[in-house]
Amino acid sequence: MSQPVPVYCFGAIHFDTLAHACVPIQRETSTPARLMSKPGGVATNIARSLTRLDVPAILCGALGDDPAGTGLLNTLTAEGISVTGIRRNGFPTGQYLAFHDPDGSLAAACVDDRVLGEAPADIFDRFLQDALPAADENAIWFVDTNLPEQVLLAICRQLEGRKIMANAVSDAKATRLQHVLPSLSLLTLNRSEAIALTGLAADTHSRQLMERLLAAGAARVAMTCGQDGLYTAQDGNVLHHPALPAEVVDVTGAGDALTAGILAGLAHGHEFSDAVSFGLKAAQITLSTEGALSEKLSWAALQTN
């Protein structure tokens, strides 16, 4: 098979601080826990995963002009990622703080993403003007909805006709995709984000959610539904894929891993149906380890049964 095409990832670059509680987390009291800090953000998680999956990754985001931003640039570059971190004076580098109960479930999370959330619409214009003339015509361009709506619109306008893929990130940010859905060749999201994006009732059947997203313009959709597995859709056809069995240690990054696995499959030249199986395997591996990036993740690992 030919060399994989590169994936350009636009979105959040920040520090994740993850607290893994030893007992169930309660309000208004301290909880014994183990804490770890790592690079994070959806686009960052996916770029880091793609590098492990033998796919060239180019990461584009915003950083504060502070030591935290410099540290992130150095760490990510050392991992083999080509990073364009636009430094913004007066803003702190983004931070994400998550609290996990002993069973690995997410009890609460907070994020300070003003450095990107308040970015101007043209923040990536110069990068795209320089990158597009030399970019592989089959390259994949990924965006996450940590990007403000006006930035998403500006990117999609400049990338018209290219392979643009997106992740909805959260219920609150998913609606930022409403006006760019017709530009997307792939949308990945979870069920609650799909409800927020479509405006349909919470009890709407998953197949109806998928059909609405296709009708809104997305060419292909992959929607996670927790223990109910994954729904995919393309060409008007909706399929259900059972979740792979996993011993859940930490849910952080599982959705990002699924997206990265699918993107890696596509970048390596596989059809969407095969790429989905790589995504499910990547999510299974990530659920069984702590943090957003599993040391066990590799392209070889995704090809094992």
Structure tokens at 149: 């709506």
Structure tokens at 38: 């790592």
Using alpha carbons, select from 173, 267, 287 the residue that is nearest to residue 224: 287
Beta-carbon contacts of 247 under 8 Å, excluding residues fewer than 6 positions away, are: 287, 288
Beta-carbon contacts of 78 under 8 Å, excluding residues fewer than 6 positions away, are: none
In a domain, 69, yes or no: yes
CA-based R_g, the chain, Å = 18
As a whole number of angstroms, the distance between CA 226 and CA 239 comes to: 16
- The pLDDT score that the predictor gives to residue 291 is 55
Using alpha carbons, select from 230, 180, 236, 188 the residue that is nearest to residue 206: 230
Which domain covers residue 75, as residue numbers?
7-302
As a whole number of angstroms, the distance between CA 117 and CA 110 comes to: 14
Kindly report the length of the chain.
305
- The pLDDT score that the predictor gives to residue 133 is 94
The tokens 């609606």 sit on which residue? 175
pTM of the model: 0.91
Give 291's DSSP letter: S
Beta-carbon contacts of 39 under 8 Å, excluding residues fewer than 6 positions away, are: 13, 14, 15, 16, 48, 72, 75, 76
Contact 51, 22 (CB under 8 A): no
Residues 100, 105, 108, 110: is their CA dihedral positive or negative? positive
In a domain, 214, yes or no: yes
In a domain, 54, yes or no: yes
Structure tokens at 292: 């957003």
- The pLDDT score that the predictor gives to residue 106 is 86
Total domains in the fold of the chain: 1
123: CATH: 3.40.1190.20
Say which amino acid occupies 252: T
CA 117 to chain centre: 16
Contact 72, 41 (CB under 8 A): no
- The pLDDT score that the predictor gives to residue 249 is 55
In a domain, 2, yes or no: no
Instruction: Write phi, then psi, for 251 (nearest 5 degrees).
Output: -85, -10
In a domain, 1, yes or no: no
pLDDT tens, N- to C-terminus, the chain (305 residues): 579 999 999 999 998 898 999 999 999 999 999 998 889 999 999 999 999 999 999 999 999 999 999 999 999 999 999 999 999 999 999 999 999 999 888 899 888 999 999 999 999 999 999 999 999 999 999 999 999 999 999 999 999 999 999 999 999 999 999 999 999 999 999 999 999 999 999 999 999 999 999 999 999 999 999 888 899 999 989 999 988 766 665 555 678 999 999 999 999 999 999 999 999 999 888 776 665 577 788 999 998 86
As a whole number of angstroms, the distance between CA 146 and CA 144 comes to: 6
The tokens 């690995």 sit on which residue? 104
Up-side HSE of residue 127: CA atoms within 13 Å toward CB?
Answer: 20
